[in-house]
Amino acid sequence: MFFQQIEKFLFDDSYYISSNFFYIRIYRWNPSLNLKPWFNIFPMRFKKFKQLMILDLLFDLKNNYDSTLTFRRSCREGICGSCSMNINGINSLACLQTFNPQSVQFLTIYPLPHMLVIKDLICDLTNFYNQFRLIKPWLINKKDDISYKKEILQSKLDRLVLDGLYECILCACCSASCPSYWWNYDKYLGPAILLQAYKWILDSRDLNKISRLNFLKNSTRITKCHHITNCTQVCPKNLNPAKIITLLKYFSSF
């Protein structure tokens, strides 16, 4: 029955239009099985699902069809960034993305592109977080300053400057969509890390701006960006890393 549905779906257009099913195709790979990666296709009925969150669909599949399906998630609110994956060709967060089976009958889910896969939809983000550590993502202030151990206040204007930066949740959707990062992941920091670096440079409480900029002056850490702007198009938080990289290039040119 299942294969008949797939065959009809592939070769019979009328079936495609009138069918009560939609299909979820999920990239699978398990290092312990010694198999090549494969696709799992799950047929689902319209009736059960109308407009659904992708993360709910994945849970439904895991709980009712295949408990070995593996993916990351935590907050279910678009806050932690752990459910990033490639959904119908666009990097996004499974907990923010919805799917309407009446308009698209195939839902295809891959792990983030050009990342090493640990299992199924889970990528290895070690390189990404190592690069994050390189930019020293913490407040650097004078240690002998007595105010260092107290709350460091900002004016409302200084705080406003950080809008469009502090919202980044390091989901890696932007970096994993960037061809320059795909080919130079060991040299180029990528849009997410550069946006974070810019946040610390602009933060009025941080006193390490010059050395932060000097760190970025290395020929490839920032200049490998060719302004493809995929990063801005896919950011699930509607940030603009491409614009930030342009500003960083300008500031680090002095």
What tokens appear for 94 in the block? Answer: 């499974």
Q: Out of 26, 95, 121, 245, name the contact with ligand FES by CB under 6 A.
A: 95
Return the range that interacts with ligand FES (CB under 6 A); candidates 1-9, 26-34, 81-89, 223-231: 81-89
Return the range that interacts with ligand FES (CB under 6 A); candidates 23-31, 67-75, 112-120, 131-139: 67-75
What tokens appear for 115 in the block? Answer: 């990342």
Q: Out of 26, 42, 69, 81, name the contact with ligand FES by CB under 6 A.
A: 81
In the bound complex, what is the minimum distance in angstroms from residue 171's beta carbon to ligand FES?
A: 6
Asked if residue 80 binds ligand FES (CB under 6 A), the reply is yes
Local structure of 86: helix, strand or coil:
strand
Q: Read off the amino acid at residue 103.
A: S
Query: Cα–Cα distances in Å, from 210 out to 31, 78, 140, 214?
Result: 45, 33, 12, 6
Asked if residue 73 binds ligand FES (CB under 6 A), the reply is yes
Return the range that interacts with ligand FES (CB under 6 A); candidates 4-12, 13-21, 70-78, 188-196: 70-78
Q: Which is nearer to ligand FES, 84 or 252 (CB)?
A: 84
Asked if residue 54 binds ligand FES (CB under 6 A), the reply is no
Q: Out of 25, 76, 136, 205, name the contact with ligand FES by CB under 6 A.
A: 76
User: Closest Cα to residue 92, out of 231, 189, 250, 212?
Assistant: 231
Question: Residue 251: exposed, middle, or buried by beta-carbon count in 10 A (0-12, 13-18, 19+)?
Answer: middle
What tokens appear for 78 in the block? Answer: 């678009």
Asked if residue 79 binds ligand FES (CB under 6 A), the reply is yes
Q: Which is nearer to ligand FES, 81 or 191 (CB)?
A: 81
Q: Out of 93, 123, 135, 172, name the contact with ligand FES by CB under 6 A.
A: 93
Asked if residue 78 binds ligand FES (CB under 6 A), the reply is yes
Parallel/antiparallel/unpaired status of strands 52-53 and 84-87: unpaired
- Concatenate the DSSP letters of all residues of 187-236 into one string: T--HHHHHHHHHHHHH-TT---HHHHHHHHTSTTTTTT-----HHHHH-T
Q: Point out which residues bind ligand FES (CB under 6 A).
A: 73-76, 78-83, 93, 95
